[in-house]
Amino acid sequence: MDTAETRCVLVTGGRGFLGRAMAKLLQRTGYEVVSLDVSPITTSSADPKRREVLCDLADAEELSRVFEARQIQGIIHLAAILPTAAQRDPVRATQVNIDGSLNLLAQARRFGVRRMVFGSSLSVYGTRAAEEVVSETDPAAPEDLYGAAKLYVEQLGAAYRQQFGLEFVSLRIGRVVGPGARSVSSAWRSEIFEFLGSTHATEIALPYVGSERILLVHFDDVARMLVTLLQAARPAHAMYNAACESVVVDDLKRELERLNPKISVKLGETPALGNPRRLDSTRLQQEFSIQTLPIFEQLRAAAERR
């Protein structure tokens, strides 16, 4: 997609961990950004360079007014009720993750949006054997509401692509890490970066068994992948695995404690269920020449900046 034709991009979930990074990258790349979220916008966190909109995707009329107010040429759809919250409140999760996505597709069709990039998840594959390397051609087998909703939205997008010509493409993303996540259920995802400069004894709780492998990707890398899919003239596929790194939990623990001896990583007894342990991302990397910095190198660079 030619960037000159996509000057205004709607980012749903724009106030979230990944959404904030996404909006900043789009702005640096020269786009106008409409950032949509249900989270209240405070004066201290508002960015005068982008339009922040308070909107519930599940409210079709409210969403329609967003499209009426601004000529949107591209969408990056990140908004979702996350796995733990989805299990607690399946009704709300369905309203946002499925009904909200359908509302967004309907408005994209109505207002002639050319391309919609969907932030999907590796949870669509479900749990796989430790040595199995999963590619986009492997069958999906989600094990929870969150993963099932991601898969269904991919199928909705495929239907809109076939019936109405909307260029819908999805990126299946692993566990996103980096500073500023503000997550209650997975605080470690940001703590592994934020606590590197700690000058007092600090504990990071990683829930997984040390021998487990988890697929990690830095939020800046995900943002670049999503923008790449937005800008691509003609993506060859409707879905791509994000370029994630398979990291052994014990190795992550040792590296964090080596980088800062004040850090103590407490491991849990939970297996890494619901996602693959190893991933084939060559489709994305070869088609778009995507390069990412290994997680341990990112941690070392972050430690040096502290």
Whether residue 145 is found in the same domain as residue 103: yes
Give the residue from 24, 18, 104 showing the smallest Cα distance to 58: 104
Taking alpha carbons only, the member of 247, 114, 273 closest to residue 192 is 247
CATH number assigned to the domain comprising residue 194: 3.90.25.10
139-164 pLDDT, tens digit per residue, is 999 999 999 999 999 999 999 999 99
Phi, psi of 100 (to 5 degrees): -65, -40
Residues 111 and 167 in one domain: yes
118/200 same-domain check:
no
- In angstroms, the first-to-last Cα distance of the chain is 39
pLDDT band at 3 (very low <50, low <70, confident <90, very high): very low
* pLDDT 10s digits, 66-109: 999 999 999 999 999 999 999 999 999 999 999 999 999 999 99
Confidence of residue 41 (pLDDT cuts 50, 70, 90): low
pLDDT in tens, 269-304: 999 999 999 999 999 999 999 999 999 999 999 999
Range of the domain at 257: 176-215+244-274+293-305
Q: Do the domain assignments include residue 193?
A: yes
Indicate whether 182 pLDDT > 80.
Answer: no
Residue type, 198: S
Report d(CA 130, CA 133) in Å as an integer.
Answer: 8
Residue 11 inside a domain? The answer is yes
Same domain (yes/no): 80, 41: yes
Q: What is the pLDDT of residues 236-251, one digit of tens each?
A: 999 999 999 999 999 9
CATH number of the domain bearing residue 34: 3.40.50.720
Average pLDDT over residues 239-266: 98
Report yes or no on 251 lying in a domain: yes
Q: Are 8 and 156 within one domain?
A: yes
Let me know if residue 279 belongs to a domain: no
Q: What is the residue-wise DSSP string for 197-263?
A: G-SS-EEEEEEE-TT-EEEEEEHHHHHHHHHHHHH-SS-S-SEEE---EEEEHHHHHHHHHHH-TTE
Query: Do 116 and 189 lie in a common domain?
Result: no
Does 284 map to a domain?
no
Do 153 and 185 belong together in one domain?
no
C-alpha to C-alpha distance for 125 and 27, rounded to whole angstroms? 33
Q: Is residue 118 part of a domain?
A: yes
Instruction: Give the list of residues 6+ apart from residue 149 with CB closer than 8 angstroms, or none.
Output: 80, 86, 93, 94, 97, 98, 101
* C-beta neighbour count of 40 within 10 angstroms: 9
One domain for residues 130 and 236: yes
Phi, psi (5° rounding) for residue 80? -170, 150
Same domain, 169 and 222: yes
Task: Classify each residue of 142-173 as buried b or exposed e, where b means 16 or more C-beta atoms within 10 Å of its C-beta.
Answer: bebbbbbbbbbbbebbeebbeeeebbbbbbbb
Residues 9 and 84 in one domain: yes
Decide if 286 is inside a domain. no
Q: From residue 154, how far is each of 12, 97, 194 by CA, in Å?
A: 16, 11, 34
Q: Are residues 201 and 76 in the same domain?
A: no
d(CA 31, CA 14): 14
Alpha carbons 146 and 126: distance in angstroms, whole number: 11
At residue 50 the predicted structure's pLDDT band, cuts being 50, 70 and 90, is low
Q: Which residues contact 287 (CB under 8 A, 6 or more apart)?
A: 235, 236, 237, 240
Q: How far apart are CA 137 and CA 172, in angstroms?
A: 13
pLDDT at residue 116 greater than cutoff 70:
yes
Structural domain contains residue 282: no
Beta-carbon contacts of 186 under 8 Å, excluding residues fewer than 6 positions away, are 175
Residues 301 and 266 in one domain: yes
Q: Is 23 helix (H, G, I), strand (E, B) or coil?
A: helix
What's the structural domain count of the chain? Answer: 2
Cα-atom radius of gyration of the chain, to the nearest Å? 19
